[in-house]
Amino acid sequence: MTPQPQAAVGAPLTRVDARLKVTGQARYAADFDADGLVHAVVVDSGIGLGRITSVDTAAALALPGVLTVLTHLNAPRLPYGPNPGMATPPGERLHVLEDDRVRFHGQPVAVVVATTLETARHAARLVRVEYDAEPPSTDLSTATDDTPVTYERGDAERALRSADVRLELTYRTARQHHNAMEPHATVARWDDGRLTVWQKTQWIHGAQSELAAVFGLPEDAVRVVSPFVGGAFGNASRIWPQGVMASLAAREVGRPVKLVLSRRQLYFGTGYRPGYEYQVRLGSDGQGRLTAMTHVMRAETSRYETFQDDILSIGQMLYDVPAVTQDWRTVPLDVSTPTFMRGPGGATAAYAVESAMDELACELGLDPIELRLRNEPDRDPTSGLPFSTRRLRQCYATGARAFGWHPRDPKPRSTRDGDWLIGTGMATGAHPSWSVTSLAHVRLDADGTAVVQSATSDMGPGTYTVMTQVAADALGLPVSAVRFELGDSTMPPPVGHGGSMTTPSVGSAVQDGCAKLRREAVELAVKDEESPLFGAAADDVVVADGRLYVRDEPARGETYRSLLARSGRDRLEADGEYVPAGLPFSTHSYSVTFAEVAVDARLGLVRVRRMLGVYDVGRVINPKLAVSQAIGGMIGGIGQALLEHTVTDHRDGRIVNANLADYLVPVNADIPDLKAIYLEGEDDKVARIGAKGLGEVVHVGVAPALANAVFHATGRRIRELPITADALL
Amino acid sequence: MYPFTYTRVSGTREALAAGREGGRYIAGGTTLVDLMRESVERPGALVDISALPLHEVTVTEDGVLRIGALVRMADAAAHPDVRTAYPVISQALELSASAQLRNMATIGGNIMQRTRCTYFRDVTAPCNKREPGTGCAAREGVNRAHAILGTSDACVATHPSDVAVAFAALEANVHLLGPDGARTVPFADFLLRPGDTPRHEHALGQGELITAVEIPAHPRPLRSGYLKVRDRQSYEFALTSAAVALHIRDGVIREAKVATGGVGTVPWKLPAVEQHLIGERPSETLWTAAAEHAADGARPLAHNGFKVDLLKRTVERQLRIVGGDA
């Protein structure tokens, strides 16, 4: 078929849902209502490990308006069937309110249901829970490991022994909570044994299959609705106990129940980026050619589930190192299970590896970019596969020029501005570009407008907008004539909205469905004697602005509207499908981040002055949204590098900064001039649409760029994140 | 949150009557409401005093500045008389909280705000300030943000206010009005160190109201300013801070007013530093030598030892910023 004119894809379209969001009309989970709705509030454990010895609910139940208090003493046991449809970690999910065990501080131990939120909150405070407490083990640095996951290529020990330069370095990263603006929220309603939930989720069908498994229902007896997500960063990829408790409470009281976690409760049992210890050893020859790299990693996980993120990729594929070993151990602690957080694993590994590379560059007296160029592989060193696209060389060159990297005095403390020491740093990032099977449905109505559906989510990157653009071009309609709908399990399923997979996967399914529908319309026209297109070759017909015409004879054509009206059809429909081709290529997105920081070494202050990210992500569907993503990724990296740290009191496992005053995320004042450059081009090996993922690679490598800049400014190598005043004094 | 009553009073007499019966005064509500949500504070009766006539900033002919207790932080910071006469007050206010909070919170409420100690704010943790006799979780717990000065075995929580540090430096007076009439308390006596009774934080009697904070006349010219050191550039409480005011005439420091925040259980006046400065000529070495006394008597805990040096450096830096490189 003739390629469609590209009008919408590549345009810096403003979010199609922007007006809804800024006028408060976008409905998030907690905004939904239902007839007879009542409210649930969770009571959290005040100990970190032990047993519940008694629960006194009398005072709570005595309050007018309180309908029930569910605890392990009276809550019905749920089936908790297996759920192969959802990638839950090995182990078994928390069966909330089913036994007297407290496994982590803040674990839900009761849920109160009342006719008003205020009553439920008051009653929750009146529930008296007594415990037999034990000392929990929550400190990664002192706890024992699980069996390791290992990787090996070449003989790293031998290569290290004969290396001209050897470094052995240990880095530590802090546990981080996602702190999305929207809290986890569920409105649950039962109708004749069927469950409907309005639920914050990044994975509509994952939520559906999980609730079905937990409650022992067929999947089609559960409907999940989630049209808007107020930020998630990976945290809404699975159903947390809160979603189960809301559904359970609704069933028990026979009325729809709303359960919204408080900001404080979001730190208890809803996942986080695990803290890591990451030891790297590097061996290199005198010219900076890496000969060996070993990685020993220890990560937090819970005792009931073994969470693993993608900590291994970066160490295996980023550089052309002949000998690599990896030894990765999870450490079971008396904590809740971690989960995916933007650039899961990669953002952690990149901090260690890219800091170590900077240390090696210093050791060798090489420019950090030059060191990376000397170790740039031609094929994926893990699999031996060719790269689909890997344009890091171009990222380095473009970035160095735009940032003004050269000339750079590599000597630490070489630039001063009053009380401030100025430094620059850079780091590389990569993130696997996966695509997965996805479905979409397309309908073109007689008025010439289209509705496209796929049960994906939009946690902020702009799925609504991007899919509208893809559909508009594939159908030959202006974007104003296309409406994209998502967030309902009655729609065709894609996979979860995460892993930077949505645009390549869902976009390709949308494009497929729209192309099929367009093709059907064209076939209809060229076979219709009354159409001006009668007899034209279908392959020569293109569609733009809702009008079908012969490419080389633009005057010959007609609109979708006239075609449908004449043929007596009130609509055309098509199903789009995308199945990854599984081509033998190594597919990743790439980033290079440059940072300039100012450090007041006397007062221990770090201030980011400017940052630049340069990205190789294949085709960019919407440059405005892509820049937005990059800014968000850099801000997240500033948080990871300088501010964010979930702090646990290891005496009793209490999280002591479970609020946004004490858990520091960057504020506007911390954010300087941030710039993003996306290399032009596409990658047709990852997905049909030509896009690689970009939502995570923009975050990977930000923290080490900042840490390297802090070193350049001060000569102090801080090997633990976040880099705070006390470390720099 | 617990049930409570809420009454809006329109006059001072009405307010005092309600206060005498155990009502808790509320104005901006930016601290109290948060603490009520967490059940840290459980007042049975709230008395909203926002309508009382305590909204004025005035300056007398002899230079005494009086800030009404209900003046909003934002308004006090922006007031021309405050800005020109006491940059240290304006700066301390503008480095506090967020713009939204400064538009709500009042001067009286600001100095009454309660500690940010996370154990105090977590009702599942022991805390002598919240529940006397339960112990102090912070002493042996996570205490990076806690006090190194004025602490006791019972409590190591900091007073979080910034502007209170400026008030302490400038030797302000707090005007009170109670059932037994009006009285004035020096700022140094208004906020109390924890000792054995960390629950008792201030000199207010039952039902007493703060009506104004008064800054006595200081000799002119007076250079002043506030420095706040913290990890995040906005919306964070101080790790350390320094309020400095210097009266320099004929090249000699005649008066020095210095206090620090983020390090003390109350805003911490530094008389030893002040004494070191008076009668001397500004110089780098003077700032360094004077600041050496800033942490005298500090008792650091496991995680806040860095504050000892940081405090000295903060004071040194702010002396230089205010006093000049000389």
* Average pLDDT score over residue span A18-44: 97
ipTM of the complex model: 0.96
Cα angle B131-B133-B137, degrees, rounded to a multiple of 5:
75
**What local confidence, expressed as pLDDT, does residue A1 receive?**
60
Torsion of CA A514, A518, A519, A522, to 10 degrees: 180
Asked if the C-beta of B2 comes within 8 angstroms of chain A's C-beta atoms, the answer is: yes
Residue A262 corresponds to which tokens in the numbers above?
Answer: 């408080």
pLDDT band at B326 (very low <50, low <70, confident <90, very high): low
Count of C-beta atoms within a 10 Å radius of residue A132: 13
The alpha-carbon gap from B295 to the nearest alpha carbon of chain A, in Å, equals: 15
Find the DSSP H helices in A96-240: 117-126, 156-161, 204-215
Instruction: Write the CA distances from A215 to A357, A363, B253, integer angstroms.
Output: 50, 59, 77
* Average pLDDT score over residue span A292-312: 97
pLDDT digits (tens, 9 = 90+) for B98-157: 999 999 999 999 999 999 999 999 999 999 999 999 999 999 999 999 999 999 999 999
Pick the closest to residue A243 from A197, A183, A298, A279 (CA basis). Answer: A197
Instruction: Write the CA distances from A179 to A244, A345, A527, A663, integer angstroms.
Output: 21, 18, 57, 9
The alpha-carbon gap from A649 to the nearest alpha carbon of chain B, in Å, equals: 6
**What local confidence, expressed as pLDDT, does residue A147 receive?**
85
* Average pLDDT score over residue span A573-590: 96
- CATH placement of domain A18-25+437-578: 3.30.365.10
Residues of B in contact with A657 (CB under 8 A): 118
**pLDDT at residue A87 above 80?**
no
pLDDT band at A19 (very low <50, low <70, confident <90, very high): very high
Compute the half-sphere exposure of residue B46: CA atoms within 13 Å on the CB side of its CA: 17
Asked if the C-beta of B120 comes within 8 angstroms of chain A's C-beta atoms, the answer is: no
* Average pLDDT score over residue span B220-242: 97
**pLDDT at residue A62 above 60?**
yes
* Average pLDDT score over residue span A597-619: 97
**pLDDT at residue A104 above 80?**
yes
* Average pLDDT score over residue span A82-97: 88
- The domain locations on chain B are 5-48, 223-323
Residues of B in contact with A667 (CB under 8 A): 232-235
Instruction: Give the Cα separation of A134 and A137 in Å (integer).
Output: 10
CB spacing of A649 vs B137 below 8 angstroms: yes
**pLDDT at residue A219 above 60?**
yes
Pick the closest to residue A302 from A439, A137, A464, A158 (CA basis). Answer: A137
Q: Yes or no: is domain A276-434+584-728 CATH 3.40.50.300?
A: no
**pLDDT at residue A5 above 60?**
yes
Location of structure tokens 């083990």:
A137
Pairing of strands B209-215, B181-186: unpaired
Contact residues for A220 (Cβ-Cβ < 8 A; gap 6+): none
How far out from the chain centre does Cα B176 lie?
16
Mean residue pLDDT of chain B comes to 97
Pairing of strands A654-655, B240-249: unpaired
pLDDT digits (tens, 9 = 90+) for B254-279: 999 999 999 999 999 999 999 999 99
What residue spans in chain A does CATH classification 3.30.365.10 cover? 18-25+437-578, 32-134+181-232+236-267, 276-434+584-728
**pLDDT at residue B48 above 70?**
yes
Residues of A in contact with B239 (CB under 8 A): 725
How many residues does the structure list for chain B?
A: 326
Residue A301 corresponds to which tokens in the numbers above?
Answer: 């996980």
Instruction: Quote the percentage of chain A above a pLDDT of 70.
Output: 99
The alpha-carbon gap from B310 to the nearest alpha carbon of chain A, in Å, equals: 6
**What local confidence, expressed as pLDDT, does residue B253 receive?**
98
Residue B323 corresponds to which tokens in the numbers above?
Answer: 């006093």
**pLDDT at residue A325 above 60?**
yes
* Average pLDDT score over residue span A577-606: 96
The order of strands in the sheet holding B181-186 is B57-59, B65-68, B209-215, B173-178, B181-186
Inter-axis angle of helices A241-253 and A204-215, to 10 degrees?
A: 50
Location of structure tokens 């192969």:
A84
pLDDT digits (tens, 9 = 90+) for A129-161: 999 999 999 999 998 888 899 999 999 999 999
* Greater model confidence, A687 or A393: A393
CB A8 within 8 A of CB A208: no
**What local confidence, expressed as pLDDT, does residue B2 receive?**
85
- Looking at 3.40.462.10, 1.10.3210.10, 3.30.300.30, 3.30.390.50, the CATH number of the domain B223-323 comes to 3.30.390.50
pLDDT digits (tens, 9 = 90+) for A409-454: 999 999 999 999 999 999 999 999 988 999 999 999 999 999 999 9
**pLDDT at residue A86 above 80?**
no
Quick one: fold of A32-134+181-232+236-267?
Answer: Aldehyde Oxidoreductase; domain 4 (3.30.365)
pLDDT digits (tens, 9 = 90+) for A336-354: 999 999 999 999 999 999 9
**pLDDT at residue A708 above 90?**
yes
Pick the closest to residue A293 from A271, A308, A315 (CA basis). Answer: A315
**What local confidence, expressed as pLDDT, does residue A510 receive?**
97
CB spacing of B310 vs A657 below 8 angstroms: no
Using CB atoms, pick whichever of A661, A726, A729 lies closest to residue B116. A661
CB A131 within 8 A of CB A100: no
pLDDT digits (tens, 9 = 90+) for A554-569: 999 999 999 999 999 9
Asked if the C-beta of B119 comes within 8 angstroms of chain A's C-beta atoms, the answer is: yes
Residue A612 corresponds to which tokens in the numbers above?
Answer: 């630049």
pTM of the model: 0.97
pLDDT digits (tens, 9 = 90+) for A239-297: 999 999 999 999 999 999 999 999 999 999 899 999 999 999 999 999 999 999 999 99
